[in-house]
Amino acid sequence: MQIFKRLSYDTVANLFIQDTSFNRIFVFPLKRDMANQIKCPNCGVYNTNEDYCTNCGTLLSYQKRRELAFAQEEKDRKKRAQIQKETSPSFYEKNKNHRFLVVRIFVKIIHSIWMAFMAIGMFIAWLVSAIAA
């Protein structure tokens, strides 16, 4: 049965930093005093406090990997949204030049009703803002 749990320096420092009364009296350094050695997954060379391998240039920092992956995903998401916006025309744009006359008339009637609804809504918004001012 294990009674004591082994705590690392970071865990103990974070516990003391979270306690505001203790934090007012003592100041703890946030960085570790020991060197951080990371083994390169590509070539096997140990690197001390480096984000990139000194031998082959492979990215070693997990934090930078996550940041780069997040930036790439965000860039891809914006690109997909832009492509979706360009490739999917609206109902009106898609059917205003339809080959059947009935569909064209139906689309123009729906579009006219929508424009009238928007005009009434804009007038009411203008009227409320004019009264409030």
Pair 53, 70: CB distance under 8 Å: no
Of 54-63, 79-88, 119-128, which has the strongest mean pLDDT?
119-128
Q: What are phi and psi of 102, to 5 degrees?
A: -65, -40
**Which distant-in-sequence residues (6+ apart) come within 8 Å of 29 by Cβ?**
13
d(CA 103, CA 86): 24
Pair 55, 40: CB distance under 8 Å: yes
Which stretches of 40-124 are assigned E, i.e. beta strand? 46-48
Going by pLDDT thresholds of 50, 70 and 90, the confidence category of residue 28 is very low
In the predicted structure, residue 87 carries a pLDDT above the cut 70: yes
